[in-house]
A = this chain, B = another copy of it.
Amino acid sequence: MSFCERKISMVQKILIIGAVALGPKAACRIKRLSPETKVTMVDQGSLISYGGCGIPYFVSGDVSDASQLQSTSFHMVRDEKFFREAKDIEVITRTKAKSINRARQVVLVEDLQTGEEKELPYDRLILATGSRPRRISVPGSDLKGVFTVSNLDEAMAIKTKIAAGEVGKAVIIGGGAIGLEMAEALSDLWGIETTVVEIADQVLPGVIGKAIARMAQNHIVEKGVSLQLSSRVVSMEGDGKVSAVVTEKGPIETDMVIIAAGVIPNSDLAGDAGLRLTERGAIWVNSRMQTSDPSIYAGGDCVEIPNLITGRPGFYPLGSMANRQGRVIGTNAVGGRANFEGAVGSFVIKIFDLSVASAGLTLGAAEKAGFDPVSAFVVQFDRAHFYPEKDLLYLELVADRKTRQVLGIQGLADKGDSMLARINAVASLLRHKPEVAEIGNIEIPYSPPFSSAMDIINALGNTAENIIEGRNKVIEPEDFASWWENRGKGDAFFLDCRGWGNAEPFVNKYPDHWISIPQDELRARLGEVPKDRPIVLICNTGVRSYEAQLILNQAGITNTFNLQGGMAAIKKSGIRL
């Protein structure tokens, strides 16, 4: 403290470029630590300090008024007046920072209304310049009716157009978080016929794996949204105003296009001033959020920080990152000592009635990063199975085969909170590089209305361990789907380990492929098990089929595959039998 206080007095003027998320957070932290410091925030927009992540909820109407996104939890609008009176912070809006003179410690700014230029001096400079939407450079992308979701002004333009009844059909380019949230906003709440075009072969690429993506896609399509995966936009057409998006698969008629293809860090101001940039073109910072010039800090969407699992630079354009980094910068800017070591990457989205979350690496990302990953998939109730109200959770754990290090977790559920209660327990842990056994013993509070005595999160760790140790030989719903499609070739039998009541309809419908031997009868009925081809073992969720696999192993029948997640996963994935 005394060290901080001594240094604090030396910092007289702090200038912040950008006043949406990180800027205001850093500014307020500075004033709390050092009330005498003069803090000035400059922003090129007219709206400041708003919750950009709330834009889809503003467009949908869930948030009725844009000012709610700009308000505090106690209903004060965070405008220039608020910052001046409640926080003693000066805010200059509609003003663009044009260049930094590091030698003289001044920033040249231009008033966007008058064109007037002036220099603002600083002792410490904070760059909170954010990001901009990635544009798609195809013919017609500059037509009227083509939007991005980059800021509150643009969101208001979209909502105005919709509310005016001008949009019957819409195309969203990008099946990431913003794209899917906008798809829900348009289709569910405004009844707009909506198509999402995604260049990857799944929604939320990089954030969730294929198994959970398939379940999410099934839900989105059930909700009436059209989904074009593995599809590239070739052009946009229209007479002044967009009327169609043309993909490799053909044209899609539309009244509006929303481009949600990710964001690019705004680093020109920093780059032009000779600050170090990363390969991606973001601003480089150390763990104190200092740029290569120790007087200049940067954070939020304009920087990269280390991924704590891979050790490589990571890009996390999220309001939550900006807020936490803003506090660290605020502390350091007045001589305190705070660190932001990096991130593991965490994610959650509500899509219609479904919640999808993740933390850390997917199987694909782990492979790319050089790990030898396995994936465990468990379906189980969120409460004790005897508790009356309960829902199924679908969780996936990714771990490295050799070191057993847990690399990531993903989840899907109807009830998002109880799913997050598990995801968060692992999200907070990932930076400590836990092994799968630690997840098997993770100590979340237990009581029947909230969890199970052997909770799904523990079962997930144990399942990963069994897979790594070669005891549980598994396939995913995706694999099942392709084996099932090709069942006519006779490559495999499908052995149903559930009670006869569950198995009967399938045995009757597919007598050549589907066999029923309940797990508790398997020891006595080993003779009925075909031994001439691979066997896919199936039960409700994958627990009894694992038991069955062990019994078959003991009997020398080892060419078996346990369907992870069982029929519950099959159903949720929209695979029809």
Quick one: given A386-B63, A426-B428, are A324 and B454 in contact (CB under 8 Å)? yes
Q: Does A32 contact B (CB under 8 A)?
A: yes
Quick one: given A85-B521, A86-B547, A445-B357, are A387 and B424 in contact (CB under 8 Å)? no
Closest Cβ of chain B: how far from A501's Cβ, in Å? 10
Name which residue of chain B comes closest to A415, CB basis: B417
Inter-chain contact B427/A444, CB cutoff 8 Å: yes
Q: Does A519 contact B (CB under 8 A)?
A: yes
CA A82 – CA B445 in complex, angstroms? 29
Q: Does A346 contact B (CB under 8 A)?
A: yes
Residues of B within 8 Å of A76, CB to CB, are 520
Inter-chain contact A427/B443, CB cutoff 8 Å: yes
Residues of B within 8 Å of A51, CB to CB, are 384, 386, 448, 453
Closest Cβ of chain B: how far from A402's Cβ, in Å? 14
Closest Cβ of chain B: how far from A490's Cβ, in Å? 30
Q: Does A106 contact B (CB under 8 A)?
A: no
CA A350 – CA B447 in complex, angstroms? 8
Residues of B within 8 Å of A543, CB to CB, are 73-74
The 0/1 profile, CB within 8 Å of B marked 1, for residues 434-464 of chain A is 0001001111111111111111001000100
Inter-chain contact A348/B57, CB cutoff 8 Å: no
Inter-chain contact B339/A416, CB cutoff 8 Å: no
Inter-chain contact B68/A386, CB cutoff 8 Å: yes
Closest Cβ of chain B: how far from A313's Cβ, in Å? 17
Residues of B within 8 Å of A462, CB to CB, are 327
Closest Cβ of chain B: how far from A572's Cβ, in Å? 17
Residues of B within 8 Å of A417, CB to CB, are 382, 415, 417-418, 420-421, 450
CA A87 – CA B554 in complex, angstroms? 13
Residues of B within 8 Å of A73, CB to CB, are 380-381, 385, 541, 543
Chain A contacts with B in 328-386, Cβ cutoff 8 A: 328, 338-340, 343-344, 346-350, 355, 357-359, 380-382, 384-386
Name which residue of chain B comes closest to A470, CB basis: B1
Q: Does A531 contact B (CB under 8 A)?
A: no
Residues of B within 8 Å of A320, CB to CB, are 443, 446, 451-455
Quick one: given A74-B540, A324-B454, A540-B74, are A550 and B35 in contact (CB under 8 Å)? yes
Inter-chain contact B444/A420, CB cutoff 8 Å: yes
Closest Cβ of chain B: how far from A407's Cβ, in Å? 15
Q: Does A127 contact B (CB under 8 A)?
A: no
Residues of B within 8 Å of A359, CB to CB, are 443, 445
Q: Does A218 contact B (CB under 8 A)?
A: no
Q: Does A469 contact B (CB under 8 A)?
A: yes
Inter-chain contact A471/B85, CB cutoff 8 Å: no
Quick one: given A429-B429, A437-B339, are A387 and B319 in contact (CB under 8 Å)? no
Name which residue of chain B comes closest to A53, CB basis: B448
Quick one: given A324-B454, A415-B417, are A69 and B444 in contact (CB under 8 Å)? no
Chain A contacts with B in 41-62, Cβ cutoff 8 A: 51, 53-54, 57, 62
The 0/1 profile, CB within 8 Å of B marked 1, for residues 502-541 of chain A is 0000000000000000011101100000000000000111
Q: Does A19 contact B (CB under 8 A)?
A: no
Inter-chain contact A453/B322, CB cutoff 8 Å: yes
Inter-chain contact B388/A350, CB cutoff 8 Å: no
Closest Cβ of chain B: how far from A270's Cβ, in Å? 23
Name which residue of chain B comes closest to A522, CB basis: B86
Binding site for B on A (CB under 8 A): 1, 21, 25, 31-33, 35-36, 51, 53-54, 57, 62-63, 68-69, 71-74, 76, 82, 85-88, 177, 318-320, 322-324, 327-328, 338-340, 343-344, 346-350, 355, 357-359, 380-382, 384-388, 415-418, 420-429, 431-432, 437, 440-455, 458, 462, 469-471, 498-499, 519-521, 523-524, 539-541, 543-544, 547, 550-551, 553-554
